[in-house]
Amino acid sequence: MVKDDGLAAGKGVVVTSDRAEALAHAEQCLAKSGGRVVIEEYLEGPEVSLFCVTDGVDVVPLLPAQDFKRVGDGDLGPNTGGMGAYTPLAWTPHGMVDEVVERVALPVVREMALRGAPFSGLLYVGLAVTRRGIRVIEFNARFGDPETQAVLALLESGLGALLYASATGHLGELPPLIWNHGAAVTVVVAAGGYPASPRSGDVITGLEAAGAVEGVQVFHAGTTHAVEEADAIVATGGRVLAITARGASLAEARDRAYEAVALIELDGSHCRSDIALAAVRGEVTVPG
């Protein structure tokens, strides 16, 4: 991966296996006034999101999830804030979560304490599972959307108790988290024109029917009440709704999520039709 180390209107990165193409892009970056270039390892493999709760000393991982950033089926089109997610991930290597905690999360938490900036809260670890093992893509310090909806749908333990233990430095005293043994799938319904120029003001119907589907919760993100009609819900643009379904299996959770999505009417809206599909089919593989 060869990146222009500066503003490039989203066109500053080249991912290639062609050495000549990589060199040509680097030369183009360096030819600019004050030009600099960044060379990064190409990470081939499926991505995983792992949320880790910490009190600055101990780390408690939640279930790993996978989200879908591209707007279109088959991971086509521009990046978005996330068009859907699912958990658990049956295809991940055995012991992966423990490895990430020991090799990534705990070292970060300990290093921050050593630097006089202790961190407590939610450490988001974005990963790629490559042929050479786990690689870190990014960190964040918050719950990630839409993975959170799927992950917390399966949490049977009290979320409040977990967060309180994090805030008060007592995570080490907390009993192991209890998880539902099923699966959860989240499908995002986006406004027309998203992500380039999302529409707003369109009325949403079918929400009650969607929420009545077994195992389904409808989370509102970009909605508000219509001024003229007190009972009407309208879209305010972007990713409007996150339809989350639980099921005894990933296939059942996915079917329920899309059953609920089909009941929602929002003019011009769109969603991906392949959230968790490859996982249900057993087609997600780790390179090597």
Q: List the one residue out of 48, 58, 205 whose CA is nearest residue 127.
A: 48
Q: Report pLDDT digits (tens) over 109-122.
A: 999 999 999 999 99
Q: According to the model, what pLDDT value does residue 9 have?
A: 55
Q: According to the model, what pLDDT value does residue 11 have?
A: 62
Q: List the one residue out of 268, 270, 288, 286 whose CA is nearest residue 278.
A: 286
For the domain spanning 47-280, the CATH number is 3.30.470.20
Asked whether residue 203 carries a pLDDT value surpassing 70, the answer given is yes
Asked whether residue 262 carries a pLDDT value surpassing 60, the answer given is yes
- Please say whether the beta carbons of 256 and 245 come within 8 A: yes
Asked whether residue 277 carries a pLDDT value surpassing 60, the answer given is yes
Phi, psi angles (nearest 5°) of residue 107: -60, -40
Return the minimum-mean-pLDDT range out of 25-29, 176-180, 243-247. Answer: 25-29
Q: List the one residue out of 202, 183, 180 whose CA is nearest residue 264.
A: 202
Q: Report pLDDT digits (tens) over 63-90.
A: 999 999 989 999 998 888 899 999 999 9
Q: According to the model, what pLDDT value does residue 44 have?
A: 87
Asked whether residue 38 carries a pLDDT value surpassing 80, the answer given is yes
pLDDT average, residue stretch 130-139: 91
Phi, psi angles (nearest 5°) of residue 153: -65, -25
Q: Would you tell me how many other CB atoms lie within 10 Å of the CB of residue 15?
A: 13
Q: According to the model, what pLDDT value does residue 138 have?
A: 87
Alpha carbon 20 to its chain centroid, in Å, reads 34
Residue 7's pLDDT band (cuts 50, 70, 90): confident
Residue 237's pLDDT band (cuts 50, 70, 90): confident
Alpha carbon 266 to its chain centroid, in Å, reads 24
Residue 15's pLDDT band (cuts 50, 70, 90): confident
Quick one: what percent of the chain has pLDDT higher than 70?
Answer: 97
Q: List the one residue out of 80, 87, 58 whose CA is nearest residue 249.
A: 87
What three-state secondary structure class fits 128?
Answer: strand
Average pLDDT, the chain: 94
What is the pTM assigned to this prediction? 0.89
Strands in the chain per DSSP E: 2-4, 13-14, 37-39, 47-54, 59-61, 66-67, 70-72, 76-79, 84-87, 121-130, 133-140, 183-190, 203-205, 216-220, 223-225, 233-235, 239-247, 265-266
Asked whether residue 240 carries a pLDDT value surpassing 60, the answer given is yes
Residue 226's pLDDT band (cuts 50, 70, 90): confident
Q: According to the model, what pLDDT value does residue 137 have?
A: 86
Q: Where are the domains of the chain?
A: 2-39, 47-280
DSSP annotation of 274 reads -
Q: According to the model, what pLDDT value does residue 108 have?
A: 98
